[in-house]
Structure 1
């Protein structure tokens, strides 16, 4: 029994969405550092380490209609999201910053932006990682139902 084109097409759109999220997150991080001049802290670098490869992996998967990339994307997005969550907590929860202080350069508790009182750069990264993770979980769940 072959897969219907409609089901395959929906999965490719999910990959395409996740790829767009990773592209926007990557371009956003480059905008903040290269154009706005915000120096990334240690935790920002770790988040970049997990986000930047997603652009390539999801891009290849999207344009080859290969949803098997989900098994590579999901671990990267989960770990990157956990780092973002930790970084966000370090910025917003008093006393949390002393658990793992940044040792060089900009302190990880620094907030370059603070839109609406809660949107910081780690929050934006956490949102991107969460959207990508949800997309990959959706692909895993859809496969198990077929």
Structure 2
């Protein structure tokens, strides 16, 4: 496979993950009527622009798209990992983002295919970040 085709495939794969994650978040919020918790909002802020950035980059064949997308996916990954660790009970939190007084993603209704939303978000950001890293290495 030619180098440019491989790089383009990485961009498309990252775009697809971002698209599925964004559509999933919109489905949960708009169709299921579930409000996101504070950490979920921050993750959405990082994920939603990735659909546009990676989509336009792949459409234009711009292999420098990683310069814009990688920082965004990395920040999202840090927030998602923090949320993952809180949800799993491995990290005690002084601030409880998923509480009874506000929106919570810790309820039984907040599972997609039996998987908690914080786990799916972490997997999505990790996938996008891992797909963009080879582009950064090849062009640095």
TM bin (shorter chain): 0.7 to 0.9
Contact 2:14 2:131 in 1 (8 A): yes
Report deviation, 1:115.
5.5
Deviations 1:46-101 (A, max 9, x none): 000000000010011000000111011111101101111111111111662x3222
User: Structure 2: which 5+ runs fail to align?
Assistant: none
Report deviation, 1:110.
4.7
1:45 counterpart = 2:41: yes
Provide TM-score, normalisation by structure 1: 0.84
Contact 2:36 2:104 in 1 (8 A): no
Going from structure 1 to structure 2, the CA distance change for 1:114 and 1:11 (only over 3 Å counts) comes to closer
In the alignment, what sits opposite 2:102?
Answer: 105
Calculate the aligned-residue CA RMSD, in Å.
Answer: 2.1
1:134 counterpart = 2:125: no
Deviations 1:109-136 (A, max 9, x none): 55622765xx310111111100110011
**Per the alignment, in what secondary structure is the counterpart of residue 95 of structure 2?**
coil
Specify the structure having the higher radius of gyration (Cα): 1
Structure 1 outlier segments of 4+, above 6 Å: none
Q: Hey, what's the Cα distance between the residues in 1 that align with 2:18 and 2:73? A: 10
Q: Count matched residues.
A: 137
Provide TM-score, normalisation by structure 2: 0.87
1:82 counterpart = 2:78: yes
Deviates more, 1:36-45 or 1:46-55: 36-45
Q: Which has the higher contact order (CA 8 A, sep 6+)?
A: 2
User: Structure 1: which 5+ runs fail to align?
Assistant: none
**Per the alignment, in what secondary structure is the counterpart of residue 100 of structure 1?**
coil
Deviates more, 1:77-86 or 1:5-14: 5-14
